[in-house]
């Protein structure tokens, strides 16, 4: 299961949770790879066969040892009528807008307790450990607000373009939605994602190490169409300022290059209107650029000839370098990857075959290759990339692994279409130091103990 509700999980499993290092809310994720005790016994017996098959080089043969042989006759579960197979079920449109199964209630976005003083200027992390493929369900998209989220009335919303333009204009949502639309799938990552790992905090799960990351199909009008409509001065206008309409009036300077390239003024997100916490009814989409620049509840874009250096651009989203200086406007999210399953807080309850799966992305283009190591970076194998592999978009990778029960360190290393190779921690901190908050794209390591416990471990 992607994640299990604690109350629904058999007690026997939860007793296996390494309670020493995870908080109560995280325990549920641990059982992801669990098989019940009966099956574990079977797997133990069949492991020699699996190992032999591995030696023969066939993953399918390797996992064959794990499958419930002759279960068709032996498994009482298949012979007894299930409660749900003898009833008249619920009608169509029971939920006019559907919701997940009650058994998935534990898969939710979560605040990190104590991370921020107030929950309105805070973060809710996406549960990457339970995700499949590349699309982030809208209900589980990560959140980062500066003064809380608002549900803006689209009838009342206005969007203005002004500054160095021939004619300043104000658009209604209806105006915008009549214009030529495009749809593109892109990742969005907060510049502070993986920020707690700079100081080697080793937060327990991938939800907290990498969960300020999501990926959606966005629909909107290319920003260049609107700039053209207003007659933007492209000779002297080198930057735009994007401004949001929540209480924080967040502003971000964006280069005209990015604005004219693939930026869009978007209303659609995975086929429907944006969610309120993601900027409904209008947000800026700046593919490859850190999330803060994807200004939500977008009310204004101003064209200018130099960066504005507004508060959010000078005091935050800047990189503290080893010499104590702050590096500014490093907005591109560099090539990065992470194994999401198995990952910290989960537990492997048996040896044998596993599909190791993760995500890779680059703000500079497409993912070209992902390598995975099971021994802390000594040996690497190339993973399978799920298609389509898209520009500035998450790419899902999968790789076969037969765990022999010995301690292992799992890592993934992405390479993008520019040839950039995701750095080791030692490589990154040599240049950037360890006191930064933003733009950490180092290789993540997950330690698998002989007990099957998976934990966050720092490897240089």
Residues 98-157 that bind its own copies (CB under 8 A): 98-104, 107-111, 118-120, 122-124, 130-141, 143-145, 147-156
Work out whether 388 is an interface residue with its own copies (CB under 8 A). Answer: yes
Could you say which residues in the range 204-223 bind its own copies, by CB under 8 A?
A: 216-219
> Please, what is the minimum distance in Å from the beta carbon of residue 423 to its own copies?
27
Q: How far is the CB of 63 from its own copies (least distance, A)?
A: 6
Among 14, 179, 202, 449, binds its own copies (CB under 8 A): 179
Alpha carbon 393 to its chain's center: 11
If one asks whether residue 280 binds its own copies (CB under 8 A), the answer comes out as yes
Query: Cα 278 from chain centroid?
Result: 15
If one asks whether residue 417 binds its own copies (CB under 8 A), the answer comes out as no
Q: Taking CB under 8 A as the rule, does residue 406 contact its own copies? A: no
Rounded alpha-carbon distances, angstroms, from residue 249 to 315, 411, 427 = 16, 40, 37
Among 305-313, 326-334, 384-392, 423-431, which window interacts with its own copies (CB under 8 A)?
A: 384-392
Q: Is 169 in the site for its own copies (CB under 8 A)?
A: yes
Tokens read off for 317: 């989203």
Q: How far apart are CA 160 and CA 258, in angstroms?
A: 19
User: Looking at 44-52, 171-179, 252-260, 318-326, which segment touches its own copies (CB under 8 A)?
Assistant: 171-179
Check if the beta carbon of residue 304 is closer than 8 Å to that of residue 240. yes
Query: What are the CA-CA distances from residue 401 to residues 62, 268, 355 (Å)?
Result: 10, 38, 6
Q: Least Å distance between CB 267 and its own copies?
A: 8
Is residue 353 close enough to count as binding its own copies by CB under 8 A?
A: yes
Beta strands at 381-382 and 367-373: parallel, antiparallel or unpaired: antiparallel
CA distance 401 to 59: 8
Going by C-alpha positions, the residue among 236, 241, 273, 292 that lies closest to residue 438 is 292
Cα–Cα distance, 102 to 107 (Å, whole number): 10
**C-alpha to C-alpha distance for 232 and 216, rounded to whole angstroms:** 29
- 8 A C-beta contact, residue 338 and residue 207: no
Two tokens, residue 240 = 């735009």
Residue 354 lies near its own copies (rule: CB under 8 A): yes
Per CB under 8 A, which of residues 20..59 are in contact with its own copies? Answer: 33-35, 39, 59
Binding-residue total with its own copies (CB under 8 A)? 142
CA angle 4, 120, 116 (to 5 degrees): 75
Using CB under 8 A, which of the segments 69-77, 362-370, 372-380, 439-447 binds its own copies? Answer: 69-77
Least distance to its own copies, CB of residue 11, Å: 12
Stretch that binds its own copies, among 173-181, 330-338, 363-371, 424-432 (CB under 8 A): 173-181
Q: Which of 92, 114, 117, 324 binds its own copies (CB under 8 A)?
A: 92
Report the nearest approach of its own copies to the CB of residue 434 (Å). Answer: 27
């Amino acid at each position: 299961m992607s994640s299990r509700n604690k109350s629904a999980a058999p007690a026997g499993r939860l007793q296996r949770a390494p309670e020493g290092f995870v908080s109560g809310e995280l325990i549920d994720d641990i059982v992801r790879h669990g098989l019940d005790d009966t099956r574990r016994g079977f797997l133990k017996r069949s492991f020699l066969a699996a190992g032999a098959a591995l030696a023969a080089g066939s993953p399918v043969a390797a996992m064959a040892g794990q499958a419930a042989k002759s279960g068709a006759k032996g498994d009482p579960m298949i012979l007894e009528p299930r409660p749900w197979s003898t009833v008249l079920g619920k009608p169509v449109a029971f939920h006019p807008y559907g919701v997940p199964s009650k058994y998935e209630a534990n898969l939710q976005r979560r605040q990190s307790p104590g991370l921020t003083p107030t929950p309105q200027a805070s973060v809710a992390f996406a549960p990457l450990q339970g995700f499949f493929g590349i699309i982030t369900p809208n209900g589980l998209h990560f959140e980062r607000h500066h003064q809380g989220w608002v549900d803006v009335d689209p009838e009342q919303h206005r969007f203005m373009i002004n500054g160095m333009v021939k004619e300043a204009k104000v658009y209604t949502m209806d105006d915008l939605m009549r214009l030529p639309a495009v749809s593109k799938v892109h990742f969005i990552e907060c510049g502070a994602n993986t920020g707690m790992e700079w100081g080697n905090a080793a937060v327990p799960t991938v939800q907290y190490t990498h969960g300020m990351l999501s990926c959606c199909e966005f629909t909107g009008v290319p920003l260049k169409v609107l700039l053209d409509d207003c007659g933007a001065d492209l000779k002297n206008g080198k930057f735009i300022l994007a401004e949001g309409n929540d209480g924080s009036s967040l502003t971000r300077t964006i280069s005209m290059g990015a604005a004219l390239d693939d930026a869009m003024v978007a209303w659609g997100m995975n086929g429907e209107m944006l969610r309120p916490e993601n900027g409904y009814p209008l947000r800026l989409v700046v593919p490859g650029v850190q999330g803060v620049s994807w200004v939500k509840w977008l009310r204004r874009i101003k064209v200018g000839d130099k960066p504005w250096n507004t508060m959010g651009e000078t005091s935050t989203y800047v990189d503290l370098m080893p010499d104590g200086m702050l590096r500014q406007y490093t907005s591109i999210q560099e090539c990065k990857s992470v194994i999401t399953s198995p990952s910290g807080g989960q537990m492997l309850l048996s040896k044998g075959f596993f599909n190791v799966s993760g995500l890779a992305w680059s703000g500079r283009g497409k993912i070209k290759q992902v390598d995975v190591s099971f021994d802390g970076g000594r040996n690497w194998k190339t993973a399978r990339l799920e298609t389509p592999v898209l520009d500035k978009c998450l790419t899902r990778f999968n790789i076969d692994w037969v765990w022999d029960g010995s301690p292992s360190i799992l890592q993934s290393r992405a390479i993008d279409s520019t040839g950039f190779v995701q750095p080791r921690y030692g490589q990154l901190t040599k240049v950037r130091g360890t006191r930064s908050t933003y733009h950490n794209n180092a290789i993540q390591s997950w330690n698998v103990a002989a007990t099957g416990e998976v934990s966050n471990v720092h490897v240089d």
